Every structure is written in C-alpha cells, then in structure tokens.
Amino acid sequence: MPFIRAFSKVAKQALLSPGCGCQPITVAIRTISFSPRQVTSDASFHSVSFSETDHPKVLITGGLGQLGVGLATMLRKRFGNNNVILSDIRKPPSHIFHSGPFIYSDILDYKNLREIVVNNRITWLVHYSALLSAVGESNVALARDVNITGLHNVLDIAAEHGLRLFVPSTIGAFGPTSPRNPTPDLCVQRPRTIYGVSKVHAELMGEYYHHRYGLDFRCLRYPGIISADSQPGGGTTDYAVAIFHDAVKTGKFECNLKPDTRLPMMYIDDCLRATVEMMEAPADTLSMRTYNINAMSFSPEELAQEVQKQLPDLEVTYDIDQVRQAIADSWPMNFDDSNARNDWGWKHDYDLPELVQTMLNYIGSDSRIAKAN
C-alpha cells in the first residue's frame, strides 16, 4: 500500500487575511494512506444530466475570488444550492454569505480541510486557492507555501477520498522558450514566476496522482479572463478590463502594453462554462488531464478599435510598463485548444465583437445606475 508523507511547515496568512497581522499557523505532520484506484467512467454520474439523487457535492477553495463566486452561482443553478459549498479564510460579503453554503477553510490546515470533505460528503473539489503572479513575486516563500504545500494537501485528500479534483492552470505556466503562436498542450514551459512554476508543478503532480493512484484530476489552462464584475488589479492582462471602465467613465484610456502585444483572452462566462463541461466530461473521453482552452486572441490596438466602433470619441494612448511588457512577451500569443474541442466538445460563445458589446452594456448600465443614485 503506498504512503504519501507530507512535512510540517509554518505558513503565514498575510496574503490570505488582508489587513490582519501575520498569525503563523502550523500544519501538523501527517501520514496518510490510500489504495490505488482506477478512474471510473460511470456515464450516469459524469454525463451532463444528473438525477436528483446523484448530484455531485462540490467544495470550492479560495471561493471568494471572481471565478469561485461565478462558478458557485453556475453550479448551484445546475445542482441545487446546498450541493455547492464556497470556502475561504476571508470573511465573505453579506450577499455571498446568504447566497448559499459558506465554510471557513484554510488549505494549509490539512485536518480542517479533510473534516470538511468528510463531514459534507464532498465528491468534487475545485481548488482555486492560490497566490497570483504579482503578489507571489513579492513574497516567494508565502507563494510556495500556499501554491505548492496547499496543493499537496488537496491532492492527498482528493486521492484518499476518491474525489474528482479540478485545479486551474494559466497562460503564465509558459515561458519565453515556449512556442508562442500557437502554443500546444504539450511543449516546453519553463515559466519565470513562482506562480507559473507552481502551476506547472500542479499540472505534473495532478497527472502523476492520476497515473499512480487513479485520482480523477482535471486541469484547464485559462487564458486572460475578462469580466465586467472585476476591477483591474494591475495584472498583465488587466488592460483588457480597464479599457472598458475608462472608456465609459472618462473617454480616455492609457495602455501599459505595446499596441501590437497579442495575447489569448476569454470572457468569464465562457471560462466558467468550460470548467463545468470539463468536470462533467466522461473520463474515457479525456486523452489528457491538462488542456489549453481559448476563445479569442487580440492586441490592445485591435481591442481599442473594436471599442471605438461603439464609442468613437475614445482616446487611446500608450505608456509602456517594461515589467508587464516583458511578462506579456514571454506568454503565448495564441492557445492551440484543438484537443479540448475534439475530446470533450469545447466551443466558445464570445468572440471580440460580442465581448466588447457585453462589457460596454454591463459597465454602461452600472455607470448609469451609479449616477442616478
């Protein structure tokens, strides 16, 4: 019988509890064991239709982020409110707390996470908890704890309890030596951020657990995700959100990437739907465990021109941020997602014109409401 041993670590919660002092916690030394199991392709469970009695019980870690809240909303409509549990170590806003089940969960606390899985009879685990690229570079030790040690906790629990596990990867999992146009599923990666390195680690560890222990591990490499609900936070692809807010509010936009910097992008609704479809896909349709997904690929100049079709008075200027430009220049220009399309029928709904119209409608509506109030 195989044994997996994980070491104890002292982890800081500065990132995970913004505004709080650094309260160290200890992850206890543990030894867990589980028998290797084969992945089943039970069509009645994995198909897109579920009966009232076999809905999956879903736990989402890091659930207070944009993707976690959106996915919970989508899954609750599909499987029922009480079958989808959001978890995080932050205090949820009132409207999220009252929208469905919420549980405090620290992914570095193995015992607590395991109790949640057992006590709530979890069958699907969606692991969104991670320290993202910019913050990770400013605190590599913490990023290593959260993104790697936290992942190991999740892998062990998922394997021990036979869960279906989804861990997202990212455009940042590729590096300057990767083929860029297009970038296939399998190629040289070699990222140069701790976030990217940790995501490659997650891809490889998940695939290892699948082949070694039969863990039903599933992973999608997300491109840049665009959502009207989120405010730009200084990330490399955030210009594609900021332009809409600035266009509606001021009629002027200053881009920090070169006008011809092409990157793969996706509207959030497509991203969330792809995640659900990947989780529901029968196991025997999956030729791999980590897939690229893509919708569109555009440059700041192309996006600006599309926005100007709706708002012709928009003024666009460029002030290049060399750090962000260097990151963008090391990332894929276009994802090859043909395997996802062939294996489990992935198909996006939003191209650039639909994206622009949707974003302007949403942000413009919010702006009018705010002015009225």
Q: Which of 110, 128, 195, 222 is catalytic?
A: 195
Alpha carbon of 227 to those of 169, 245, 292, 306, 352: distances in Å?
Answer: 18, 11, 20, 17, 13
Reduced 3-state DSSP string for the chain: CCEEEECCEEECCCCCCCCCCCCCEEECCEEEECCCCCCCCCHHHHCCCCCCCCCCCEEEECCCCHHHHHHHHHHHHHHCHHHEEEEECCCCCHHHHCCCCEEECCCCCHHHHHHHHHHCCCCEEEECCCCCHHHHHHCHHHHHHHHHHHHHHHHHHHHHCCCEEECCEEHHHCCCCCCCCCECCCCCCCCCCHHHHHHHHHHHHHHHHHHHHCCEEEEEEECEEECCCCCCCCCCCCHHHHHHHHHHHCCEEEECCCCCCCEEEEEHHHHHHHHHHHHHCCHHHCCCCEEECCCEEECHHHHHHHHHHHCCCCEEEECCCHHHHHHHHHCCCCECCHHHHHHHCCCCCCCHHHHHHHHHHHHHHHHHHHHHC
CB atoms < 10 A from the CB of 155, how many?
A: 25
Alpha carbon of 371 to those of 225, 364, 366, 367: distances in Å?
Answer: 28, 11, 9, 6
Told to judge if 195 belongs to the known catalytic residues of this protein, a careful annotator would answer yes
The token pair at 238 is 């955030």
Which active-site residues does the annotation give? 195
